[in-house]
Structure formats: structure tokens, C-alpha cells
Amino acid sequence: MPSKTFINLEAEKRKRIVDATVFEFASKPYEQVMISDIIKKAKIPRGSFYQYFIDKEDLYIYIIDVIKQEKMTFFESTLNNYNGLKFLDLVRKLYEEGVQFALKYPRYVKIMDFLMKNKNPLYDKIMAENVLYAEKVYANLIDQDKAKGYIREDIDSLTFAKIIVQLTTNIAVEELDIDNEEESFKRMLERNNQILKIIEYGVLKG
């Protein structure tokens, strides 16, 4: 995470560093990104970089956190005002908004695509933290639906949350095509809807 020196920088300089970093990590896999390219684009001395971050890994984790916070802000209105939507309907809406977020921030998508497809050394650390957070949020929403009688009480909330998170995450890994984004996003939405339909209505007749 960044030092207090970085946090206390004037907003314009801080943004310049973040923008330069996002550009580099969106342009190539983590292993190929060079600190020298980032500081050149950000127009800061190498010495200043090491006053802000320990190393490239420290900076990368910070940028992933920036993306996560931007996405949570994007979802904030829906999460705070879902007006009694059932859990699976809320998951559908959040996934649709996730696609809109991706269209608005294509470089964020490229960074996450490199992370998921190449599985760099930080993949497990980063994904584990994000997955646990999503599972916790979903399990809480499932508990609320159980209390309202929408979901059977014998269903284990955390297990159900894990299933949803794993299935929907795999869609992005398997379907996202950076060279054909809009078409791949359509496929992702359709596949997500099919998964949620099977979960909601089951597979047995009668």
C-alpha cells in the first residue's frame, strides 16, 4: 500500500501517477511492466517512486485496490437501494452493471484480464481476498432472503454464496475477449442469466 507521502501528494500529481500505472499494467502482463516506464510516463524521479511504494508489487496491489474501490462505488447505489430485490435478481442486476463498468473503464478490464488469464504470482493472493469479500456480501444477502421466505432455510448461505461467486467469476475467465469486448460482454450476460435460471428453477421436471 502507498506511503503517507504518496497519500499527501497534491491530487493532480497523484492522479498522474495512477493514470501512468494503469496505462502500463493495461498494456502488458505484470511481469513485463517496468518501473522505469511508469516513472517516465508519470514524470517523476525514480527516487520519488520509492518514497511512495516499496516496489512494483506494492504498486500493483494498490492499483488492484483502486479498481475494486471504483467498482464498489459504481455498485453503491444498487447495493444500498435494491428495494427488496430477491437475491438472484440482485445478482443479475449487479452483473449487468459490472458489464457497464467494464465498458466505462476498459483499461481496468485489461488489467484484470491479464491477472485472470496469465495468473501472475499475485493471482492467488489478490483473488482470494476479493472472493472472500464477495462471498461474505452474498451470504448476508442470502440470509436476508431466507428471513423473508424467498430461499429455503435449510440452504447453507455460505455454500450458496461460494457457488454463485465461483460460477460467475469463471464466466469472465472463459468468455472475456479483449479484442471483441462488446460481443464477449453479451455472451457473458447470457451465460450468467442461464446459470442463475438453472439455480432458480432447477433442472428436474415437475
3-state secondary structure 57-108: HHHHHHHHHHHHHHHHHHHHHHHHCCCCCCHHHHHHHHHHHHHHHHHHCHHH
Q: For residue 42, is it left (φ>0), alpha (ψ between -120 and 50) or beta?
A: alpha
Rounded Cα–Cα distance for residues 26 and 103 (Å): 14
Domain tally for the chain? 1
pTM of the model: 0.84
34 domain-assigned: no
Cell triple for residue 5? 507521502
107 domain-assigned: yes
* pLDDT score, position 28: 93
31 domain-assigned: no
83 domain-assigned: yes
144 domain-assigned: yes
* pLDDT score, position 65: 93
* pLDDT score, position 206: 64
- Which residue segment(s) compose the domain that 137 sits in? 62-201
55 domain-assigned: no
What are the C-alpha distances in Å from 41 to residues 24, 45, 115, 140? 9, 11, 22, 43
Rounded Cα–Cα distance for residues 189 and 86 (Å): 18
Low-confidence ranges of the chain (pLDDT < 70): 206
User: 115 CB contacts (<8 Å, ≥6 apart)?
Assistant: 30, 64, 122, 123, 126, 127
120 domain-assigned: yes
180 domain-assigned: yes
- Domain of 76, CATH number, reads 1.10.357.10
